Amino acid sequence: MHGRSCYPGPRQRPIRGAGNCASNPHNPQLTTNPTTHPTQGRGELRDQPPQPAANDQPDNPSERPPVTTAPTIPGFTHLRTGVADNVTLTASVGGTGTPVVLLHGFPQTHLMWRHVAPALAAEHTVICPDLRGYGASDKPADPDGTTYSKRTMAADVVALARALGHERFALVGHDRGALVAFRAALDHPDAVTHLASLDVLPTLDMWDVLHGTSAAIGFHLYLMAQPPGLPEQLIGASPDAFFGHFLDVWTRDEAAMPPEVRAAYLAASRAAVPSIVADYRASAGIDVVHDRADREAGNRLRMPVTVLQQDWGTALGFDAAALWSAWAPDLRHTTVSCGHFMAEEAPDEVTKAVRDLLTR
């Protein structure tokens, strides 16, 4: 739910090695010269120059090219844009037309949109940021438990779109990014024209449906909800095993996540343990406060909403469409057969769902 898959009977397999792009004979050709023209369909992964420390702030960070060695979306321009005091996001941008912002999930980066984004860029300006605390974006400290609230992270996204010249935009989120998108749509209904949510429940509903022994499937939610210190220490002691576990057991089609992509996700997550934990911790604290206030006030999503989800209800005994309907009067809810990482396992299905949403 919050950054996790709940499909019954996930395929268990040994955690794979992180891999080495340079020595992998199946690795796509990497280049350090990304083009500024959107690539149609599924292109090759491309590389960028190395990135400075996450919290190094350039004199004028807005829209400055980032530097990173991680593969990224082919054919997109790569920007560093200031969105808040001492916080800069890295984003890949491509295409022309009405804007669509794509938000990644856990334990991933904007790279998860490498198939969907170029396809949508045929008709739209597509903006794919790394969320605050993830990937090549800044990772500020969290002294009071609010730095990674979904309200704060949603404000980042609205500020990013505005800095790129877009006051209104469609918003698509997967996993953690879907929770940020949900909060952005509630807080900024005049900015978010359409909302698509991939494989989550809203925060309050997620906690409500986890109970008894079935809640063990969400063990990471409870681990990262603990006070600062122990979760970071435990995860930091073996980050590849921790993050790799989710990349493996939440994937149904192993070929959808090739070794160089998996290695990029592990490297990014390994470098972001404190901020990833802070993001999850907020969902057991300040995010609950914000969502409960909206529920009690009767606030609902005003825009057309599309939700794609695995069949969690069968496994855990709840009606996902009914739970979403309480928040979204104009809802289309679809149950999918792919794994949690649906933008990589079923990119055509996801792209079609987004295009259909944008016609409503």
Q: Tell me the pLDDT band of 313, cut-offs 50, 70 and 90.
A: confident
Tokens 């090695």 belong to which residue? Answer: 17
Q: State the maximum Cα–Cα separation within the chain, in Å, rounded to a whole number.
A: 56
Active site residues: 175, 340
**CATH class of the domain comprising 21-358:** alpha beta
Whether the ω angle into residue 140 lies within 30 degrees of 0, i.e. cis, is no
Give residue-wise pLDDT tens across range 279-312.
Answer: 999 999 999 999 999 999 999 999 999 999 998 7
Closest CA to 114 of 262, 336, 4, 246: 262
Give residue-wise pLDDT tens across range 224-272.
Answer: 999 999 999 999 999 999 999 999 999 999 999 999 999 999 999 999 9
CA atoms within 13 A on the CB side of 221: 20
Closest CA to 7 of 254, 312, 246: 312
Other CB atoms closer than 10 Å to residue 113's CB: what's the count?
Answer: 27
Average pLDDT over residues 328-355: 97
Structure confidence at residue 69 (pLDDT):
55
Would you say 318 and 233 are in contact if contact means Cβ atoms under 8 Å apart?
no
* Residue type, position 209, single letter: V
